[in-house]
Structure 1
Amino acid sequence: MISEREYRKRRTRLGRKLKPYSVGVLFSATPKIRSNDTEYPYRQNSNFYYMSGFTEDNAALVFVKEAKNFKTYLFVAQKDKTQELWHGQRLGTDKAKERFLVDDVFEFTTFNEKFKEFVIDKHHIYYDFKLDYSKVKLLKRRSENILSFENLAHIVERMRLIKSKSEIKLIKKALSITKKAHHKAMKTAQKLQYEYQLQAGIEYIFKKYGAYSDAYTSIVACGNSANTLHYINNDKKLKEGELILIDAGCEYEYYASDITRTIPVSKKFTKAQAEVYVMVLDVQKEIIGMIRPNILRSDLQKKSEELLCRGMVDLGILEGEVKTLLKEKAHKKYYPHGIGHWMGLDVHDECPYKKLNGKEIPLQAGMILTIEPGIYLDKEDENIPKKYRGLGIRIEDDILVTKEGCENLSCKIAKEINEITRKSSSSPLNSFSLLR
C-alpha cells in the first residue's frame, strides 16, 4: 500500500516543476462501453492514480500555482443514493477531505465553475494531450489569457520512471502471485486439453491470491501459435511433444508484472527444442548481466540482436557471416521485437525513452524494465532446419536497476530446463486440481 504522504510528495514534486502562474489538470479515466449498456471493468487512468491514489471515475486533480506557491484541489463524484444503489458506494467530499492530503475537495459537478476561477490571471495550462476532445475544448474555452498549453503527462511519466520502495514492494507482490500461476501451469499442462484451460488456471491463481486483474490479456500459445507475437485466441489444443509459450502477469494494486515462460506440453523438452531454448536463455542471462546505471537500452538491444544472430548461425537457422547478417537485418525475421520495455503502473509503462533533446535516457537506479529475447520459427519456413520449424520461444523477466547493477525480481520463477521439467514432473494432478 502506498501512503497518502507519498502521494502528497509526488504532488509537491510535480507542483514545483510547473511554471509560475499556471494551472495543471489530471482527469480520471472515463468508463468504457463493452456493448450496449454494459461496461468494461473500470480501470483508473495511471497518471491520475499516480498523483492521487484515487480509484473512482468522475474525478479530477487540479494544481493552481502562483509565482512560487501552489495548491492542489481534488474533485470527486457527489454522493447519490440512487446511483450508489446501482453502482456502489462513492467516497464523497467529506470523506475525501479526511483521507486525501490536498488543500480542498469539491464535487465534480462544480469543475467548470471552479476551473474558470482558477485560470484568472494565469498564463499556462498543463493537461494530458491525450484527453478526449470534449475535455480539451473545455480547458481551452476558459483560457483567453493563456500564453501556452503544456503536456502534463510528459512530466508525470518522467517521474514514473524511478520507482519508490513502496512501488517496488507492490511489483514484487504481483510477481509472487505470478510465480504461483506459472508454476501451476507447469504442473498442469500435460493434464489439460486446450490453451484456454491453461489460461483459466493461471487467471484463477491471480484472483485467488488477491490480484483481481491480469496486467494484460494472457498469451497461451501452443506450437506454431507462439509465432504470432500477440496471440490471444488461446483456443487450440495442447499437443503432445509441442512447446507452450505463456506470457501472463497479474496486476496487484495497480502495479503490473510481465512474465513469459516457454514450457513443454509433455514433461520434457526434445533435443531440438532444448537447443533453441538454451540459446535464448543464455542470451537473456548475458543481457541481464549487462544492466547497471548509465547503460543505454539501445546497447542492450544491439547486443541481444548480435547474440541471437550468432546463436541462429550456430544452430543453422541462418547462414553467413554474423556481421553481414546483422547489417542486412536477416535476423529480424526471427527476432522482430525489442529486448524489453519499462514496467510499472502499466505493463508497458508509458514513460519516455528519450529526453526532450532527443537523446536516449540511460538506465538509472530505481527503473524497472523487462528483458525478453525470443526466437520465432514458423512451421512453413523452409529456409530453416525442419527440426526447428514451428518453435516459438520467449523468456521474459522483470529487472530492477540498482546502484550496483540490477536485481532480477522474477528470478524465483522457474526457467532452467531442469527446473521446468522438475515442476512438470511433480505430484500427479487431475483436471480438477485447479479448483482446489
Structure 2
Amino acid sequence: MIKESEYKKRREVLAKKLPDSSIGIIFSAEPATRSNDTHHPYRQDSNFYYLTGFKEDNAVLVFLKTKHELQTVMFVQKKDKTLELWSGERLGTKEAKSRFLVNEVYLRDDFKNKFKEFIKDKKNIYCELASKKSALKKVLKLTKDFKTKHDIVPLIQKMRLIKSASEIELIKESIAITAKAHHRAMSINKKGKFEYHLQAEIEHEFKMNAAYSDAYTSIVACGNSANTLHYIKNDKPLESGELILIDAGCEHNYYASDITRTIPVNGKFTEPQKELYNLVLETQLKIISMIKPFVKRTHLQERAEILLTKGMIELGILRGSYKKIIKLQKHKKYYPHGIGHWMGIDVHDPAPYKDDKHQEIPLQKGMVLTIEPGIYIDKDDRSVPEIYRGIGIRIEDDILITKDGCENLSSDIAKTVEEIEALAEL
C-alpha cells in the first residue's frame, strides 16, 4: 500500500508548480445515480485519489500558497449516524485530521464560507477547468471576477507519468490477479458455453482475489467478433474451431492491469490461426526487446507496422512493396490502432504523450505502458485468402521501463502457442 507520506510528497510536488498567491482546488468524484435512489458503485476521481488516497465522496482538497507559506486543507463529510445507516461509515474531521498529513481539516458544509476567505488575497486559481462536477461549477461562479483561472489537471497528469516503487508493486498485484483469470479462461472446458460464461469465469477470479472491479469492461470476442475492437456484447456462442480474443484486466487497490490473450475454443490452433498468431507474437516480442529509456513510442509504432506488414505480405494478405503499402496506409485496414498506451490508476492513464513544446516525450524509467500489436481480418474480406478470414488476434502485455531496458510485468501469463495449448489440456 501507499503510505500517507507519499501522498503528502505528491501534494508538495504539485504545490511547487503553483505560483505564489495561488489557490488550487480538486474535488472528489460525485456519486453516479443508476436510477432513482440506487447508485453505481462509487469510484474516486483518479487525480483526487492520487493526491490523497481518500475514497469518500463529497470531499475537497485545497492548496493555499503565498510567497512564504504553503497550506493544504481538506474538507470531508461530517459523522452522521442517520446518513451512515444508509450509505456507510464516514471518516469525519477528527479521524481525517489524524490520518491525513494536511494543515487543516474542515467539514464539507463549511467549504463555501471558507473558500470566500481563502480567495481574498489570491491572484491565481487552479482547478479542473474542463470538469463537469457540479461543485466546481459553483466555485467558478464565486470566482467570476478572477481573470487568472488555470487548469490544474495537466500538472497532475505529468506527475502521474512516472510511477513510484509503491505504485509499481500495486500494478504487479493487479496483474497477478489478472494472470489467474486468464489462465482460468484458458484451462476450462468451453464446449457448449457462450462468451458471457467466460467473462463470468474471469470476473469471478477477480473478485475472489479481492479485485472488486474490472479496470474496464471485459472483451470476450469469439471468431469474427474479435474484429470489432471494442466489442463488449459478449453474447455469442463459443464455436469450436474459432479463436477467442480476451481483453480483460482487474483494478486492485485503485491500480489497473490490461492484458489481452487470444486462445482457441477447443484448445488447439489451426495452422492458419497459428501463422497469424505467431506473426503477432513475434512482432510483440521484437517491440518489447526495443524498449528502453529515450526510445519514442512513435518509433515502436512504426517498427510494429513494418513487421506486421511484411508478415502479412508473406502470408498473401497484403500485396506489393511494404514501403508503398505503409505510405498508402493500406495496412491500417488490418492493424488500425496504436502499439500501446500509458497505464496506472486508470487503464488508459491520462498522462501526456507530448511536452509543453509539443515534442514527443521519450520513454523514461518508471513509466508503464501496454504493448499490443494485432491483426484483424473480417470474415467478408474477399481480398484475403479464405483461410485467414474471420480471425482477429491481439496480444497485450504491461511493460515497465527500467534503468537500462524494460520489464514485462505480465510475462508469467501464458502466451506462446505451446503454453496456451498445454493449459487447455489440464
- TM category, shorter: over 0.9
> Secondary structure of the equivalent of 1:190?
coil
Deviation at 1:78, TM superposition (A): 1.1
2:140 pairs with 1:140: yes
Length, aligned pairs only: 426
> Secondary structure of the equivalent of 2:49?
helix
> Residue in 2 aligned with 1:248?
248
> Residue in 2 aligned with 1:356?
356
> Residue in 1 aligned with 2:30?
30
Counterparts of 1:206-225 in structure 2, within 5 Å, are 206-225=206-225
Q: Residues of 2 paired with 1:174 and 1:237: CA distance?
A: 29
> Residue in 1 aligned with 2:313?
313
What amino acid does structure 2 have at the position aligned with 1:275? E
Counterparts of 1:12-31 in structure 2, within 5 Å, are 12-31=12-31
> Residue in 1 aligned with 2:412?
412
Asked if the contact 2:191/2:240 (under 8 Å) is kept, the reply is: no
Gap change, CA 1:192 and 1:396, over 3 Å in 2? farther
> Residue in 1 aligned with 2:178?
178
Deviation at 1:135, TM superposition (A): 3.5
Q: Residues of 1 paired with 2:208 and 2:48: CA distance?
A: 28
Uncovered stretches (5+) of structure 2, i.e. residues with no partner: none
Counterparts of 1:58-137 in structure 2, within 5 Å, are 58-132=58-132, 134-137=134-137
> Residue in 1 aligned with 2:258?
258
Deviation at 1:150, TM superposition (A): 1.2
Q: TM-score, normalised by structure 2?
A: 0.98
What amino acid does structure 1 have at the position aligned with 2:66? E
Q: Residues of 2 paired with 1:192 and 1:161: CA distance?
A: 44
Q: Residues of 1 paired with 2:68 and 2:337: CA distance?
A: 45
Deviation at 1:220, TM superposition (A): 0.3
Q: TM-score, normalised by structure 1?
A: 0.96
What amino acid does structure 2 have at the position aligned with 1:425? E
Uncovered stretches (5+) of structure 1, i.e. residues with no partner: 427-436
Q: Residues of 1 paired with 2:336 and 2:279: CA distance?
A: 17
Deviation at 1:146, TM superposition (A): 3.4
Deviation at 1:129, TM superposition (A): 1.9
Deviation at 1:178, TM superposition (A): 0.4
Deviations 1:323-378 (A, max 9, x none): 00000000000111110000000000011111121111111000000000000000
What amino acid does structure 2 have at the position aligned with 1:72? T
> Secondary structure of the equivalent of 1:196?
helix
Q: Residues of 1 paired with 2:191 and 2:100: CA distance?
A: 50
Q: Percent identity?
A: 58
Q: Residues of 2 paired with 1:192 and 1:110: CA distance?
A: 59
Asked if the contact 1:123/1:145 (under 8 Å) is kept, the reply is: no
> Residue in 2 aligned with 1:325?
325
| Range that drifts further, 324-333 or 112-121 | 112-121
> Residue in 1 aligned with 2:228?
228
Q: Residues of 1 paired with 2:203 and 2:40: CA distance?
A: 17
Deviation at 1:79, TM superposition (A): 1.1
> Secondary structure of the equivalent of 2:355?
coil
Question: RMSD between aligned alpha carbons?
Answer: 1.1
> Secondary structure of the equivalent of 1:120?
helix
Deviations 1:14-52 (A, max 9, x none): 111111000001100011122232211110000000000
> Residue in 1 aligned with 2:369?
369
Q: Residues of 2 paired with 1:366 and 1:353: CA distance?
A: 15
Q: Residues of 2 paired with 1:88 and 1:133: CA distance?
A: 23
| Range that drifts further, 139-148 or 366-375 | 139-148
> Residue in 2 aligned with 1:429?
none
Asked if the contact 1:192/1:198 (under 8 Å) is kept, the reply is: no
Q: Residues of 2 paired with 1:357 and 1:146: CA distance?
A: 27
What amino acid does structure 2 have at the position aligned with 1:255? Y
Q: Residues of 1 paired with 2:389 and 2:73: CA distance?
A: 59
> Residue in 2 aligned with 1:433?
none
Asked if the contact 1:354/1:360 (under 8 Å) is kept, the reply is: yes
Asked if the contact 1:215/1:251 (under 8 Å) is kept, the reply is: yes
Deviation at 1:276, TM superposition (A): 0.1
> Residue in 2 aligned with 1:154?
154
Asked if the contact 1:121/1:145 (under 8 Å) is kept, the reply is: no
Q: Residues of 1 paired with 2:343 and 2:277: CA distance?
A: 25
Deviation at 1:134, TM superposition (A): 3.9
Q: Residues of 2 paired with 1:21 and 1:251: CA distance?
A: 38
Asked if the contact 2:293/2:401 (under 8 Å) is kept, the reply is: yes
> Secondary structure of the equivalent of 1:119?
helix
What amino acid does structure 2 have at the position aligned with 1:42? Y
> Residue in 2 aligned with 1:432?
none
Deviations 1:272-310 (A, max 9, x none): 000000000000011111111111111111111111111
> Secondary structure of the equivalent of 2:75?
strand
